[in-house]
Amino acid sequence: MLAMNYRGPYRVRVDRKPVPVCEHVQDAVVRVTRTCICGSDLHLYHGMVPDTRVGMTFGHEFIGVVEEVGPSVRNLAVGDHVIVPFNIACGQCHFCKQGLFGNCHESNSQATAVGAIYGYSHTAGGYDGGQAEYVRVPYADVGPCKIPSNMDLDDAVLLTDVVPTGYQAAEMAGIQPGDTVVVFGAGPVGIMAARCAWLFGAGRVIVIDHIDYRLDFARTYCPAEVYNFRSLEDPVVFLKKTTDSLGADVCIDAVGGDAAGSALHTLMGTKLKLEGGSATALHWAINSVKKGGVVSIVGVYGPTGNLIPIGNVVNKGITIRANQASVKRLLPRLIEHIEAGRLNPKALVTHKVPLEEIADAYHIFSAKLDGCIKPVLVPPSARR
Amino acid sequence: MKNLPIDPSKVPGWGVDANPKNDPTYPMRDRSHEDKRGMSWNRPPQQEETVEILQSIERNNLTAVFGTSTPPSGVSGILRRQAFRYSESEWAHWLMLLAADRVNVIEGVVEDLGRGRIPNIPGEMGIRSELAHNRSGLVRKALIAGAVLGVGIFAARIATYNKGGRRSGTRRS
């Protein structure tokens, strides 16, 4: 089969690899019909995530058709077209029982600090991902969800991560009616977080980024007030001034470790790798939220540590909420939102690229060329 | 384009998930399952270990399933095994893994060459899309790289010339 092959920072290609097989009685093998490049894949692509091995296949956002099931699989059958949540979860452990499907204790031997994620380094379990024609899906009875018959496949593939992560960012923020919500990052997740903030009753939604075309999209899609931080002398001061000097009720970090805007964080986090990524957005979020407010983090950081103003968290009494999205928990409600027309994820898709052209797709997304917001990869078998 | 006033009540779906009781919200510690402590759940069947799996020393056991992609090998594998002697709380663990990743890149090139394949590094870096969508940026990068290279060569030549001059000066004296 064809599969993405990571060769080192900023280098990927498509190679032939063996078709995966069921390695466990609860496994399935899925033929991929759509797969995306996620903003967090760029952290891998940029060489920021420890234990990212040459030869691995990335891809944690994918949907596909079940081709094979292990002997213990009961809920799926060959031929089912399924949404596969990005996190691998057993459904039985202490954490899964709490709905913490992103924190399963039975799927990642190599770290306790993170659950297992398809195609997201060995730090996240060492599973090959879905940027391929076929992928192994463990615990097939737990995560996968059949795609509703009338759902567009581009909507379905965005339900694997972007929509639930954006929604959970707003949910974790505990938004109360009338709240002012600031979202740092106008990537797909930030845009979705800003869109979902309204569902929770936000009174004002502000999006901060430095890419104008994305801000223009967010302005009409979310909708939101948008500001390019490069045009602001100090985004924290600006946000204080625009909230009567108090700060926002809620700040959402939807950027993670690839943030621009601070030479110090860029040097320490992305160049020298002495931080778990550049924490500029988180830094600004902590300093822009009001006293007693909430900072909700869905941006991805590495496991080492970051220079953030933790003293301000203490002194302002800030609540920090963060997690990988619990996709399985959220899917039923999010499917309702799409079917009711309240959410339109497929509008985020700007590029549909053959899997064979993955190197160009990564570069376009990483360098933010050609107005790219969300690239979807289509394997050859899904194009026939 | 300027920001226009937004009337929240006109945004589709506004407030449909608003719930004043949603505070504190997810993720919360759920105490309903705490009647049994420790790893007391019924564990899924154990996957057979067919390749070397490195295990965090913060765990008591291998997880019931695990990924089998790209097992540790070569010099990078040695570094990774060393890294797993340290806990996830130690910087040594992560920095050694990052070092192993860099070594692994060189191993990847050697592996390609060993199979008679010269890696198309510009292609792997997406040069085609750079040419299509950012030609001026590509030219600028090429000029900067050329200038840096040129300055380097010039500096090396000056250094060689000075060294030679000093030597000949010594001989003359």
* β strands within chain B, DSSP E: none
Q: With beta carbons under 8 A apart, name residues in chain B contacting A8.
A: 104-105, 108
Residue B111 shares a structural domain with residue B136: no
Residue B115 shares a structural domain with residue B145: no
B137 part of a folded domain: yes
Using CA coordinates, name the residue in chain A closest to B128.
Answer: A360
Dump the DSSP string for A348-384: GEEEEEEGGGHHHHHHHHHTT-TT-SEEEEE-GGGT-
Specify the pLDDT at position A249.
98
Structure confidence at residue B167 as a pLDDT band (50, 70, 90): low
The pLDDT tens digits of the residues spanning A168-221 come to: 999 999 999 999 999 999 999 999 999 999 999 999 999 999 999 999 999 999
Measure in Å the smallest separation between the Cα of B148 and chain A Cα atoms: 19
Specify the pLDDT at position B169.
56
Q: Look at residue B165 and tell me whether its pLDDT is greater than 90.
A: no
The pLDDT tens digits of the residues spanning A295-333 come to: 999 999 989 899 999 999 999 999 999 999 999 999 999
Residue B99 shares a structural domain with residue B127: no
Instruction: Please give the mean pLDDT across all residues of chain A.
Output: 96
Q: Does B22 sit within 8 Å of A110, measured CB to CB?
A: no
The pLDDT tens digits of the residues spanning A57-89 come to: 999 999 999 999 999 999 999 999 999 999 999
For residue B28, how far is the Cα from the chain centroid?
31
What's the 3-state SS for A42-110? Answer: HHHHCCCCCCCCCCCCCCCCEEEEEEEECCCCCCCCCCCEEEECCEECCCCCCCHHHCCHHHCCCCCCC
Residue B129 shares a structural domain with residue B110: no
Find the helix or strand (DSSP H, E) in which A5 lies.
strand A2-8
* Total tally of structural domains belonging to chain B: 2
Helix residue spans in chain A (DSSP H): 41-45, 153-158, 162-172, 188-199, 212-221, 235-241, 263-265, 280-288, 310-316, 327-339, 358-366
Q: Does B80 sit within 8 Å of A126, measured CB to CB?
A: no
Mean pLDDT for B122-140 is 93
Measure in Å the smallest separation between the Cα of A321 and chain B Cα atoms: 7
B154 part of a folded domain: yes
Whole-angstrom distance, CA of residue A318 vs CA of residue A286: 8
Q: Does A11 sit within 8 Å of B129, measured CB to CB?
A: no
Task: Output the pTM of the full model.
Answer: 0.94
The pLDDT tens digits of the residues spanning B69-116 come to: 999 999 999 999 999 999 999 999 999 999 999 999 999 999 999 999
- Kindly list the structural domains of chain A, giving each domain's residue range(s) and its CATH number in brackets, ordered by start: 2-161+326-382 (3.90.180.10), 165-322 (3.40.50.720)
B5 part of a folded domain: no
CA neighbor of A345 nearest in space, from A165, A182, A117: A165
Q: Answer yes or no: are the C-beta atoms of A76 and A144 closer than 8 Å.
A: yes
Q: Which residues contact B18 (CB under 8 A, 6 or more apart)?
A: A175, A176, A177, A199, A200, A201
Joined tokens for residue B171: 């001989």
Q: Does A110 sit within 8 Å of B53, measured CB to CB?
A: yes
The pLDDT tens digits of the residues spanning A210-255 come to: 999 999 999 999 999 999 999 999 999 999 999 999 999 999 999 9
The pLDDT tens digits of the residues spanning B11-55 come to: 999 999 998 877 778 887 777 766 677 888 999 999 999 999 999
Gap between the terminal Cα atoms of chain B: 75
Residue B77 shares a structural domain with residue B113: yes
B102 part of a folded domain: yes
- β-partners of residue A29 are A68, A136
Quick one: A65 exposed, middle or buried, by C-beta within 10 A (0-12, 13-18, 19+)? middle
Structure confidence at residue B170 as a pLDDT band (50, 70, 90): low
Q: With beta carbons under 8 A apart, name residues in chain B contacting A25.
A: 45
Residue B74 shares a structural domain with residue B112: yes
Q: A282-318 in b/e burial notation, b at 16+ Cβ within 10 A? A: bbbbbbbbbeebbbbbbbbbbbbebbbeeeebeebeb
Mean pLDDT for B124-136 is 94
**B79 interfaces chain A, CB cutoff of 8 Å:** no
B155 part of a folded domain: yes
B142 part of a folded domain: yes
Measure in Å the smallest separation between the Cα of B135 and chain A Cα atoms: 11
Q: Does B27 sit within 8 Å of A7, measured CB to CB?
A: no
CA neighbor of A162 nearest in space, from A81, A221, A110, A212: A221
Domain that holds residue B106: 53-59+69-119
When scoring B16, B56, B65, B102 by the number of chain A Cβ atoms within 10 A, the one with the most, hence best to mutate, is B65
Specify the pLDDT at position B173.
44
- Strand A204-209 and strand A225-228: pairing? parallel
Alpha carbon distances (Å) from A160 to A88, A345, A355: 12, 11, 18
ipTM of the complex: 0.93
B97 part of a folded domain: yes
End of a domain among B86, B103, B119? B119
Report the SS3 class of residue A310: helix
In single-letter form, the type of residue at position B98 comes to L
Specify the pLDDT at position B30.
75
Using CA coordinates, name the residue in chain B closest to A46.
Answer: B125
Mean pLDDT for A146-161 is 97
Specify the pLDDT at position B39.
85
Q: Which residues contact B96 (CB under 8 A, 6 or more apart)?
A: B79, B80, B82, B83, B86
Structure confidence at residue A135 as a pLDDT band (50, 70, 90): very high
B147 part of a folded domain: yes
